[in-house]
């Protein structure tokens, strides 16, 4: 089972949350898991009664600490492609 982590354990959590709010202010980060075997953080996002899962590589989150525009662009692509895609959102 993947280990659930707190926002304080996630590198650059505030930046991710800020980018999500820019896309849609009604989305809430419900919980976050760290998948050790794949070295990614799995974010469970909730909006109304639907859940979306977005996986973000740890190396990208660590790279965001320096506010590197390349990493910010990559994060934007991941979030946009997931959140904007209707197949991501499943009824809970």
Give 65-74 pLDDT, tens digit per residue.
887 889 999 9
Domain count across the chain: 1
Is residue 1 pLDDT above 80, yes or no?
Answer: no
Give 21-64 pLDDT, tens digit per residue.
999 999 999 999 999 888 999 999 999 999 999 999 999 999 99
* DSSP three-state, residue 46: strand
- Predicted pLDDT of residue 90: 92
The pTM score is 0.90
CA distances from 90 to 48, 52, 82 (A): 11, 6, 12
Listed in sequence order, the residues at least 6 apart from 11 whose beta carbon sits closer than 8 Å to its beta carbon are 58, 61, 62, 64, 65
In 48-86, where do the E strands start and end? Answer: 50-57
In terms of residue numbers, what domain contains 62?
Answer: 3-91
Q: Is 57 exposed, middle or buried (0-12, 13-18, 19+ CB in 10 A)?
A: middle
């Amino acid at each position: 089972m993947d280990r659930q982590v707190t926002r304080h354990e996630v590198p650059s959590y505030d930046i991710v949350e800020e980018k999500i709010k820019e896309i849609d202010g009604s989305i809430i980060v419900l919980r976050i898991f760290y998948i050790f075997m794949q070295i990614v953080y799995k974010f469970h996002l909730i909006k109304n009664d639907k859940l979306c899962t977005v996986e973000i590589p740890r190396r990208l989150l660590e790279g965001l600490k320096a506010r590197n525009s390349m990493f910010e662009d990559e994060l934007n692509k991941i979030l946009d492609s997931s959140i904007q895609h209707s197949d991501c959102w499943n009824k809970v």
